[in-house]
C-alpha cells in the first residue's frame, strides 16, 4: 500500500534549487532509508513530507505530496498533518521538563486532560520506545538528566505519544554511541510493524540493517529508489554504484 506519493517536487531556497523534480512512492509499514552525500537534499526532502520547510523563509515548493492520496499542501490542517507525520531529529531535543511532561505534551495539546488517560499514554509510549524500564522510577525528573541515547528514545516516545502514522527520522543515531545506536535500530525494526518509517542515514550499514527500501540522492535529485538489497548489490545507476562502493561522497 502506498502511504506517501511525491510528484514533480521542486524546492528552492531563494534562488538556489535544493530539490529537482523528485518523484517518490513510499510504502506503508516499510522502512525507507535516504542516503547520499552531505548537502544533496535528504533533510530538505524529509521535511517536505510534513511541511517543516513552511517555517523556512525564502523556501518555495512546487509539485505535490500526498498522504493516503490527500494533498499535504492543499487544505490539510497543519496540526493534523504533524500529528499524522511525526519527526525525530539528529540531536536529541527533549523539552526542558520532566520525562512525563515530555511525553504528555503532545496528547495534552490535542486536548487529553484525564490523568488516567495520560498515565496510560506515557507508559505505552515509553514502552514502545524501549525506555520504560530505565525511566519508570524517575518520570518526574528532568529529561535533560538522561544520557544522549536515552534522550533520543524519549524523543521517539514523544513522537509516538500522539499516535502518528508516519515517523520521519533525520540521522537519529549520528550523535549516539554504538550500543544506543543498536537499541534505536532494533526499535525501528520493531516499530515498522505499526508505522511507516523514513530514515535519513549516513551509515550505509545501518541502511542495510534496518531498511526495506533505499533512496539515493545526489545534488537535489533522486537518482534511484529500490529495495535495499538491490541498491547495495546491483544498483541500476552508475552514480549509485560509485557512491555505495565509496568512490565518492
Ligand atoms: N534553511 C536553508 N536555507 C538555505 N539553504 C538551505 C537551507 N537548508 C538547507 N539548505 C541548502 O540546501 C541543500 C540541501 O541541504 P540538506 O540539509 O537538505 O542536505 P542533506 O542531504 O540533509 O545534508 P547532510 O547530509 O549534511 O545533512 C544544501 O545546499 C544546503 O546548503
Ligand atoms: Mg541532513
CATH number at residue 86: 3.40.50.300
What mean pLDDT value characterizes the chain? 96
Q: Is the CB of 48 under 6 A from ligand 1?
A: no
Predicted pLDDT at 56: 94
Q: Edge-to-edge strand order for the sheet containing 31-35?
A: 85-88, 166-170, 196-200, 31-35, 213-218, 221-227
Whether this prediction's pTM lies above 0.85 is answered by yes
The parent domain of residue 176 ranges over 2-93+165-244
User: Which atom number of ligand 1 is nearest to the Cα of residue 44?
Assistant: 18
Quote the number of domains for the chain.
1
Q: Is there a domain that residue 123 lies in?
A: no
For every residue of 100-114, DSSP letters joined together read HHHHHHHHHHTT---
Q: Is there a domain that residue 232 lies in?
A: yes
Cα(first)–Cα(last) distance of the chain, in Å? Answer: 33
Q: Is the CB of 44 under 6 A from ligand 1?
A: yes
Provide Rg for the chain, Cα atoms: 18
- CA-proximal residue: ligand 1, atom 7 (nearest): 13
Burial class of residue 16 in the structure, from the number of CB atoms within 10 Å of its CB (0-12 exposed, 13-18 middle, 19+ buried): exposed
Q: What average pLDDT does this structure show over 111-122?
A: 97
pLDDT for residue 249 is more than 70: no
User: Which atom number of ligand 1 is nearest to the Cα of residue 90?
Assistant: 27
Of 9, 11, 39, 223, the one to substitute when testing ligand 1's pocket (max ligand atoms within 8 A of C-beta) is 39
Q: Is the CB of 153 under 6 A from ligand 1?
A: no
14 CA → ligand 2 middle, Å: 19
In whole angstroms, what is the distance from residue 103 CA to residue 60 CA? Answer: 33
Q: Is there a domain that residue 199 lies in?
A: yes
- CA-proximal residue: ligand 1, atom 14 (nearest): 41
pLDDT for residue 53 is more than 70: yes
pLDDT for residue 232 is more than 90: yes
In whole angstroms, what is the distance from residue 193 CA to residue 225 CA? Answer: 21
Q: Is there a domain that residue 49 lies in?
A: yes
Q: Is there a domain that residue 152 lies in?
A: no
Residue ranges with CB less than 5 Å from ion ligand 2: 43
Q: What average pLDDT does this structure show over 150-172?
A: 96
Of 41, 49, 220, the one to substitute when testing ligand 1's pocket (max ligand atoms within 8 A of C-beta) is 41
Q: Is there a domain that residue 87 lies in?
A: yes
Phi-psi region of 112 (alpha: psi -120 to 50; beta: other; left: phi over 0): beta
Q: Is there a domain that residue 61 lies in?
A: yes
Predicted pLDDT at 247: 77
Summarised one tens digit per residue, pLDDT across range 178-208 is 998 999 999 999 999 999 999 999 999 999 9
Q: Is there a domain that residue 133 lies in?
A: no
User: Which atom number of ligand 1 is nearest to the Cα of residue 56?
Assistant: 1
Amino acid at each position: 500500500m502506498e502511504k506517501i506519493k511525491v510528484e514533480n517536487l521542486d524546492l528552492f531556497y531563494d534562488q538556489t534549487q535544493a530539490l529537482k523534480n523528485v518523484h517518490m512512492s513510499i510504502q506503508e509499514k516499510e522502512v525507507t532509508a535516504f542516503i547520499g552525500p552531505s548537502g544533496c537534499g535528504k533533510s530538505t526532502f524529509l521535511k517536505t513530507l510534513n511541511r517543516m520547510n513552511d517555517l523556512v523563509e525564502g523556501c518555495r515548493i512546487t509539485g505535490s505530496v500526498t498522504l493516503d492520496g490527500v494533498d499535504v499542501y492543499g487544505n490539510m490542517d497543519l496540526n493534523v498533518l504533524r500529528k499524522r507525520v511525526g519527526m525525530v531529529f539528529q540531536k536529541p531535543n527533549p523539552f526542558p521538563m520532566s520525562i512525563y511532561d515530555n511525553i504528555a505534551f503532545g496528547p495534552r495539546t490535542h486536548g487529553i486532560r484525564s490523568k488516567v488517560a495520560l498515565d496510560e499514554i506515557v507508559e505505552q509510549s515509553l514502552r514502545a520506545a524501549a525506555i520504560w524500564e530505565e525511566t519508570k522510577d524517575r518520570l518526574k525528573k528532568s529529561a535533560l538528566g538522561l544520557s544522549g541515547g536515552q534522550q533520543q528514545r524519549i524523543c521517539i516516545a514523544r513522537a509516538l505519544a500522539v499516535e502518528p502514522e508516519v515517523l520521519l527520522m533525520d540521522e537519529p543515531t549520528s550523535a549516539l554511541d554504538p550500543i544506543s545506536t543498536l537499541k534505536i535500530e532494533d526499535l525501528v525494526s520493531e516499530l515498522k510493524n505499526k508505522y511507516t518509517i523514513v530514515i535519513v542515514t549516513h551509515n550505509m550499514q545501518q541502511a542495510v540493517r534496518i531498511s526495506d527500501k533505499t533512496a539515493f540522492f545526489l545534488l537535489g535529485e533522486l537518482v534511484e529508489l529500490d529495495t535495499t538489497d538491490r541498491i547495495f548489490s546491483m544498483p541500476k545507476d552508475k552514480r549509485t554504484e560509485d557512491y555505495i562502493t565509496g568512490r565518492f561522497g
